[in-house]
Each structure stands twice: as C-alpha cells, then as structure tokens.
Amino acid sequence: MAGRYALLFIILFSLSTPAFSEETPESEKAEPETALPAVKPELENDTEATPEIELPDAANADIWKQVQSLESNLKQQQAAVIATRGRLGYAESLLQRLEDEYESFELRLEKAGLNLTGEYATLLKQRLERLQRQGVATDLIKGIEAKLSTAREEQLRLEEFEAIIDPGDGARDQLRSQRADLIRQLHKAVTEHIEVLNDYYSNVSALQDRVEAYQTLLQQRLFWLPSASVAGLDTVRELFEATTWFVTQLRLEPLSAAIGMSVRERGGRIAFLVIILALLVLKRRTIKQNLAANSEHVGNVGHDRIAFTLFAFANSFLLALPGVLIFAIAALLLMEGNDFFSALSKGFAAAALVSLLLDFIHKVARKGGLGDTHFHWHIDSLSAIRREIPILLAVIIPITVIVPTTATSGGAEFDSSLGRLLFIVVSFALATFAQRIMGAARADRPRSKFLFMLHVLAVATPLVLAAASLLGYHYTALELERNLFVSICWVAFNAMLFYLGLRALSVRERRLTLERLLEHRAAERKIAEAKEAAESSGEGVPQTLDMPEMDLKDISQQSTALLRILVSVVAITGLWFLWASLIPALQLFDDITLWTINTDLEGSDPLPITLGDLMLALLVGVGTVLAVKNLPGTLEVMVLSRMNLEPGSGYAITTLTTYILVFLGVIICLAVIGVQWSKLQWLVAALGVGLGFGLQEIVANFVSGIILLFERPIRVGDTVTIGGITGTVSRIRIRATTLVDWDRKEQIIPNKTFVTQDLTNWTLSDPITRVILHVGVAYGSDVDRVQQILTDVAHGNERVVDDPAPAVFCVGLGESRIDFELRVFVKDLLDIMPLSHEIHSAITRALREAGIKIPFPQQDIHVRAISDKEAATRDRPASE
C-alpha cells in the first residue's frame, strides 16, 4: 500500500534538488535591513464576563432605588466598554504589526528564493515553533461570541423595561426624568459595547487567520531548506551528549511528582481507563470466541449477514485496544510533569495512536479473522503481516515515545543528532517491513511488473528519506515521512471501508441471486402453464415476457465500480488536503485565473474562476457520468431488492434517480465555473417552450410512461383490451408499450394511449372472468329439469370456479325454442374457448340422454290456391 504513493514522494523530493546544488554569495541572501521587529501574536482568553444589568421591578420598586440601580449598572457598562475598547486597540495594533511583518518577511523570502543557509533554516524553524506556541487562545473567539449574545439580550431587556415604566406626574417627575435619562444612557452604553465587541471579534478572527497563514508560509519554505548540517563526526559527538542528557533526565523524584500531580488532576479518567483495561483483559478469551463465531456462517447464502463482519470488526478493535489503553494511561500519568516528562506524555499519546493503527491491522490479519475469512486476502500477505507487525511495533513504539523530548528546551539542541538517529532507525525499519510484506505479496505473481515497481518504491522511499536527513534535509524528510505515514493510514482506512462495502455487496448479491433463481423457476412454471392453456384454446401467447430487470453480472460490476469510485474520491480528497498545505505546487491551480464573473452585489469585487475551479467542474462531470453509469446496479442490490417492488416500479425509480443525478451534476458544474442561473433562465424558458411544441407527443409519452410504471394500471403479463386490440403486455418502456395479440403479432402502442383512452385490463386485480353460454330447448320441455341439467354440467367442469357459483336462467321464449343462459366464471382468460367447447358438448349429451330436444330453426309456409281468371290477369302484358 505504501508503494503506491512512494513514487509521488520521490518526485516531490526530487523537486528540492536545487537546494542541494545552488550556492549564492552571502550578500544575495536575506535582507535583514528591511526586517521589522518580530511580533508576539499572543492574545489570552478574557475571563471577565459581560456585566449583567439588574433591572428593578418597575411596578413595585421604589423609584429612588431604581435610579440608584441604574446608575450602578451604567458605571459597570461604561467600564466594560472601556476595557473592551482597550483590548480592541491592542488587537488592532497587534494585527497591523503582524500584517506588516508578514508582508515584509514574505518579500524577503521571495527575493532570497532557495538560496538560504542551514542556519537561516534553523532560525525559521524557531520562529515557526514560537508561532505555534503563541497565538489566539482557543476559547477567546467563543468568549467574545458569548459576550455579544449577552449584550444583545441586555439591550432587548432595556427596551422592554423602558416601554413599561410609567412616566407619571407630580412631585416625583424629576426622579422619573432622571430615571428615563439613565435608561437612555444605559441603552447607549450597551449599544456601544455591542459595536466594540463586533469590531473586537473581527480583529481577533483576522489575527487568527494571519497567524495560520504565517505558519503555513514558514512550513512551506522550511520544506525546501536544509534544517541541519551534513552528518559527520560532530553528529556522533552530539549523539553521545544527547544520550547522556536523556539518561540524566530520567530521575525518580520528578517522575513521582509528575505521577502524583497527574493522579490528583486526572484521577477519574485514569481510573476509568484502568477499569476498561481490566475488563478487556478478563474478557479477552470471550472476544476471541466471538470473533471465531462470527466466521462460521460466512459464505452460507441462507445464513450469511453483513452483521457478522461488523461484529468481527468490533471484536478485532477490542483485541487491539489493551495496548492502546496502556499507552494512554502512561500519557495521563506523566502529563503534569516537567518539560521532559510532559514531552514523554506526548510521546506515549502518539504511541497509543500508532499502536491502535498497527495492532488493529495485526488483529485483522489473524487466522480466522476479518482478512482471512471475511475479506479473503492473500494468505502469504496475511502471514507476513502477522509476523512483521510485532517487530515493527517493537522498533517504532520506543522511538515514538522518545522523539518529542527533542522538542523541549533542553533537548532542542540534540534534534539534529538524537532526532536524526531515531528517524533513520525508523526509516530502515519501514524499509525492512516493506521488503518483507511486498516479497510475500509477490510470491504468487513474481513476474508482475507492476508489483515489482511497487516493491522497489516501497523499499526505496524510506531509504531515500533517510539519506536526505543525513544530507541535512532532516525537516523535509521528517515532514514527508510523517505525511507518508498519515497517508498510508488514511488509505488503509479507506481500503477497510472498501472491503466492508464489498462484503456487504457480496452478501446481498448472493441473496439476490438465490431470490432471482427462485423467481425464474416460478416464472418458468407459469409460462409452461400458459403455453399448455394456449394450446388447448387455440390462442397465441408471448413466448417470453420482457421484465425490466438487470442482469446479475451487470449488477455486480456496477455496484463494485461505484463503490470503488466513491472510496477513491474520499481517499484522494483526504490526500489532497493533507499534502496541499505542504507542497505549494499543488496550490498552483488556484492561482491561475481563467475569467471573472460579476456577483451582482453592490460594491463587491468580481469573482475569479481559476483553473482549479475548471478542473473541479470536470471532475464533477466525470463523476456524474460514472455515477449514472453504475447507479442502477447499486440501487438494485442495496435498495430496490429489499423493497419487494414490481419490476416496473424498480425500473421507474432507477430512471428518475438517473435523471435527477444528471440534473444535479449539470447544475453543480455550471455553478462551479460561474454560470449564473439569472442569466440562463430566459434561454432555458425559451428552450422549454420550443421543446414543448416540437416534442409534445414524445414528452407526453415519456410522462405517461412514468405514470404507467408508478400507478401500474397495466403490468407485464396482463391481458388488456384497448382500441379494439386485445393482447398480453410483454414490455413496458418509457415511450411505448408492446402488446402481443392472440395471433402472436406485436402491437407497439404509445404510452399516452393507455393514459387518455378507455382501457380494459382483464387481469389487473382479479383474473376471474365471466362467460355466458346460450342454450335453447324445444317447447314442451320441463324447464326445471333443463335448469338442473345445465347446473350439473357447469359444476362438473374443472375450469368453472365455485366462487362465484355458476347460475342458470330462463331468459326468453323464442320463435321456436325456450332460451336459457348459463353464466359461469373461469380462472383464466385462456380457459374461455376450451370451456365453451366442453360445456356445449356436455350439454348436448345430457339433454339427449334426458330426452330433451334442441330444436332446429322452424319456418311455416302457407300455400294458397289461385283461380284461372287471376292467373290470366297476372299473365297479361303490361302494354295492354
């Protein structure tokens, strides 16, 4: 993992080579004659609270007492205004001096470039350490905000008090006038105090920003300068002195004093950590058993859950916690000691963090743990991690504890000797660790060029940094290795998130695969039944129905790709913020202005759009495209498959979510590059009108498709009749719907038709359909017996449902027969034709056996005789 970022660090380190080679005369270096006296930008927290105004009861208090109370409050407020104004004046002068010093110092560094000596770099480091010690107190800004809030409340209370007092008349008017005057003066003082506090708040905030900018400037410049001389014999002599100094500081009396004072100050927290440590030690075997139990059902589709992995993650964390607590307790016990033991306290705190990170990875790699059973990491790599991390901890932990002592007043002179030696030891330990881990990772792929390059970079990077420290660039190497360690931890954290997400997707995908398999088997049985019914009815039905669902392979690929994109974005963003403050080259994009835009605010400057903004817009655009491309699979596996939706609803949700993502991506891209909605709204409105007229039908069908997918008046597989066409719905898309009629012809019908026209859905909520059969018998037949025969025939047919029950009615007396109607209900539309055949055949047999005739159509012909005279008249020609 470290090897992936080693190339970046080597490239950045190579940028500093001019500092090794370029030498300039002393006269061309910094210009001390233009320097200003150094400023101590130090503001302590103001412990004085804003005086609260104690207003008397306007109705019950004596007016003379009210006047006395108001006079006392006025004096307090005036004193508070004077005190705040004094602090404001000091902050303003401090800010002005610091800004002048910053501009002068920045100009001198700009002229000097990188042509500065190691001694000058040491002085810069001292100034940086002083600025880090001094500055604005952390609670000062919060205190000012609290005072402002209190002053505003007092102002409102005064206004209410002034509104309810009785001006009165008579002998006491003079006191009332004095009271009103005092209230006005007090209100004026409070208002003035609010204004002064606002100015004070602005100046303190600006001072804090300037101190942070000053620190950033020094850090950036120190990064490229040698902070110590090249290692030599003097370094060895200083190392001996440093060792002697360190040993002499380890005295029993200061240690016992530090422990005693820390116990008095933080005894509760220390006791709490000791109790937690004892519980973890006692429950360690139980935690290991739980970790093993969490792996039992991993891979079992029926029982596997992501909760098992989360529990295993928590158990691994608990197993790594005892060492962390031991170092944390040691840090608390030494916190109240002298400078040396206070530095050791910081070292133990840092050791607790290092122990947490490395030991947690060690517990993840244990046999039967997260890496082995849940994440399926490479077994050789896991073995190497289990073997090498304890060795690495044995080297790094003591050094982490000792290093802060070189920053104390007594140990600062040994930073270039003792501090450099400790740094080199850590670098060699990291190189050895990388060599063994990468060797294990390459065991199964020894010919992989990519792994070979990672191997070389992972081993070479700590060694190159150690060489840079020996050549005098100790601060640069230290900052790079510190940021490298934090970067690796950050990448490891994101990798853990990725594997947790991958595990969750894997569990859900296997479950979805099983559910899809069961659904497909049920669908195949249903299609087979429909084919069998269709063969007996003589009707054509669709061979397959186009259910809008995603392929499982696409779901897996898309969800994994989207997870990888999200984790990569988070990881790269964190790395950018980590390294941007250290390497000015990464801030170059924010310094290149491409164009400016007017903000439409009166008196405001134009807003610059930089190359960084353009690159951010491009990243947002690419991210939107990738998200839209891979979103359907992730939605399907993580959300839609849990909601028990019909396929059409899932398709509609995915489609709408995609459109929303595209819309948001376009809006964000335009906003980043400075495109203002106020200047585009008329164009968008005109475009919308034009599209509305030109694409009216397409838009109508699109909206109708969304309505069909959500309202679901028709579903895939339903039998519907619309516009004289009856068929089975085989496909629903966003523009049109496909029907397959009984002749197996596909009818493409726009979605608008289903929304605006009358629609018959034979199978929407109930597939049972009524069939009416007409039967006629000869006159003279027994009507009751005929009714009984028809009822028995209906009940004897398997296709007829019992509820609703069949019914027989005599509906009319025809010219040659008595008319009956047999009303029955069938379960499926395809049963109508087979049922008609079966019922008519059974009725014919039953009536014949009962001796009841089914009459033929009858027509009476009457023959009348014609006389000879009539015949002669009829045969006479018309002309006669």
Model confidence pTM above 0.85:
no
CA distance 351 to 172: 75
* Residues above pLDDT 90, as percent of the chain: 10
* Position 277 confidence tier, pLDDT thresholds 50, 70, 90: very high
* Position 274 confidence tier, pLDDT thresholds 50, 70, 90: very high
Residue 807, beta-bridge partner list: 823
What's the CA gap between 739 and 379, in Å, rounded? 56
pLDDT tens readout for residues 288-316: 888 888 888 777 766 778 888 888 889 99
**pLDDT value at position 100?**
81
pLDDT number for residue 46: 59
At 873 the pLDDT is 61
3-class secondary-structure state, position 187: helix
Residue 27 above 50 pLDDT?
Answer: no
Mean pLDDT of all residues belonging to the chain: 77
Q: Look at residue 30 in the predicted model and tell me its pLDDT.
A: 37
The DSSP annotation for 10-34 comes to HHHHHTTTHHHH----GGGS--GGG
Minimum mean pLDDT among 1-5, 544-548, 634-638, 815-819: which range? 1-5
C-alpha span between 752 and 708 (Å, rounded): 9
**pLDDT at residue number 35:** 44
CB 195 within 8 A of CB 87: no
Please, which contacts does 94-99 make with residues 24 or more away whose CB atoms are closer than 8 Å?
A: 94/39, 94/41, 94/43, 94/207, 95/203, 95/206, 95/207, 95/210, 97/36, 97/39, 98/39, 98/41, 98/207, 98/210, 98/211, 98/214, 99/210
Query: Among 110-124, 139-153, 664-678, 737-751, where is mean pLDDT lowest?
Result: 110-124
Residue written as token pair 């005057």: 181
Q: How far apart are CA 454 and CA 235, in angstroms?
A: 34
**In which band, very low, low, confident or very high, does the pLDDT at 5 lie, cut at 50, 70 and 90?**
very low
**If you write DSSP's letter for every residue of 357-390 in order, what string do you get?**
HHHHHHHHTSTTSIIIIIS---HHHHHHHHHHHH
Q: How far apart are CA 460 and CA 447, in angstroms?
A: 20
Please compute the mean of the pLDDT values over residues 197-217 and round it to a whole number.
83
Nearest Cα neighbor of 65 from 179, 184, 162, 158 is: 179
pLDDT-wise least confident of 636-640, 732-736, 810-814: 636-640
Residues in the chain: 880
In this prediction, residue 391 carries a pLDDT of 93
pLDDT at residue 571, as a whole number: 86
Residues 628/658, Cβ–Cβ less than 8 Å: yes
Bridge partners for 808 per DSSP: 822
Instruction: Please name which of 470, 466, 476, 456 lies closest in space to residue 18, comparing C-alpha atoms.
Output: 476
8 Å CB contact between 678 and 597: no
Residue 179 CB partners (closer than 8 Å, separation 6+): 63, 66, 67, 70, 165
689: which 2 tokens?
């009108």
Instruction: Kindly state the tokens that stand for 280.
Output: 């973890």
Check whether 24 has a pLDDT greater than 60: no
Q: What pLDDT sits at residue 503? A: 84
- Reply yes or no on whether the pLDDT at 530 is more than 60: no
Is residue 223 within 8 Å of residue 583, measured between CB atoms? yes
Q: Name the least confident of 58-67, 195-204, 391-400, 770-779.
A: 58-67
Query: What pLDDT digit, counting tens, does each position of 536-546 carry?
Result: 544 444 555 54
Q: Please give the Cα distance from 665 to 657 (Å, whole number).
A: 12
The mean per-residue pLDDT over the stretch 407-419 comes to 80
Residue 745 has pLDDT above 50, yes or no: yes
The CA angle 835-838-841, to the nearest 5 degrees, is 145
Can you spell out the DSSP letters for 162-174?
A: HHHS----STTHH
